[in-house]
């Protein structure tokens, strides 16, 4: 088992993940290696769930239908995104403002290839995507107390994680519908370079969680026994 595969397994077990972690690799050059055929998608976030089991190599064209997502992934300029028809519809609805767009982070370069794949199969990912429940978010926050909960759009978690920040999104109205994200799940992006450190911290904090959970369970049982 590779080091990345072992870390992926540990991450999933420690957080009790229901879905496998996804590795995202951002390449400045066009990569041509065997991968599953990429079907057209309404936005880049729609590749996240399929990549839990498939290796998908995408190009800027595959992200072009969503101007905001293309901007956050460094594929088009802020001006191009703001002047696009789909963005205009979002602004006109009041969902976002021009100021919101200006404060949204983006990747510092334009990837020629963005590869999404099961983390266990990735060689050198830049970002790790995981789907969290409130319980697994609690567990992760104990290990990463400085994690940030970000606003819309959801896809900004990718450039944030690329920049070294553990970022969690509750989702956004556009992405949740397009990607069919269940109501009880959130999405988190981790800097791949920090993965080993995060797993080490999770090992320590989950042990503490188990200890206090056992105490709470015994304490609760004593109250139940007294009331019986």
Tens digits of per-residue pLDDT, 186-202?
999 999 999 999 999 99
pTM for the whole thing? 0.92
d(CA 105, CA 187) in angstroms, rounded, equals 17
Contacts of 130 (CB under 8 A, 6+ apart): 11, 15, 17, 19, 21, 22, 136, 187, 188, 190
d(CA 164, CA 138) in angstroms, rounded, equals 20
| CB neighbour burial string for 89-106, b if at least 16 within 10 angstroms, e if fewer | ebeeeeebeeeebeebbb
pLDDT of residue 222: 80
d(CA 140, CA 203) in angstroms, rounded, equals 11
Alpha carbons within 13 A on the beta-carbon side of 150: 25
What residue segments make up the domains of the chain, in order of their start?
3-227
Tens digits of per-residue pLDDT, 69-98?
999 999 999 999 999 999 999 999 999 998
Q: Is residue 25 scored above 80 in pLDDT? A: yes
Picking from 56, 2, 5, 62, the residue whose alpha carbon sits closest to that of residue 31 is 56
pLDDT of residue 228: 59
Q: pLDDT grade, residue 53 (50/70/90)?
A: very high
Whether 120 and 11 have beta carbons less than 8 Å apart is answered as no
């Amino acid at each position: 088992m590779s080091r990345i595969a072992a870390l992926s397994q540990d991450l999933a077990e420690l957080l009790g993940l229901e879905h496998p972690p996804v590795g995202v690799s951002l390449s400045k050059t066009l990569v041509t290696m065997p991968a599953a055929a990429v079907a057209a998608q309404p936005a880049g976030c729609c590749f996240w769930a399929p990549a839990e089991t498939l290796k998908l190599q995408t190009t800027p064209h595959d992200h072009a239908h969503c101007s905001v997502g293309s901007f956050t992934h460094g594929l088009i300029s802020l001006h191009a995104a703001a002047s696009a028809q789909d963005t205009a519809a979002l602004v006109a609805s009041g969902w976002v403002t021009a100021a919101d767009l200006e404060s949204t982070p983006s990747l510092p370069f334009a990837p020629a290839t963005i590869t999404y794949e099961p983390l266990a199969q990735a060689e050198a990912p830049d970002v790790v995507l995981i789907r969290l429940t409130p319980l697994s978010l609690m567990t992760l926050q104990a290990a990463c107390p400085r994690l940030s909960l970000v606003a819309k759009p959801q896809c900004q978690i990718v450039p944030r994680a690329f920049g070294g920040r553990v970022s969690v999104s509750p989702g956004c109205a556009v992405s949740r519908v397009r990607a069919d994200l269940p109501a009880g799940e959130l999405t988190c992006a981790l800097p791949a370079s920090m993965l080993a450190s995060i797993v080490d911290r999770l090992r320590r904090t989950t042990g503490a969680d188990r200890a206090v959970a056992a105490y709470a369970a015994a304490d609760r049982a004593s109250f139940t026994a007294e009331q019986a």
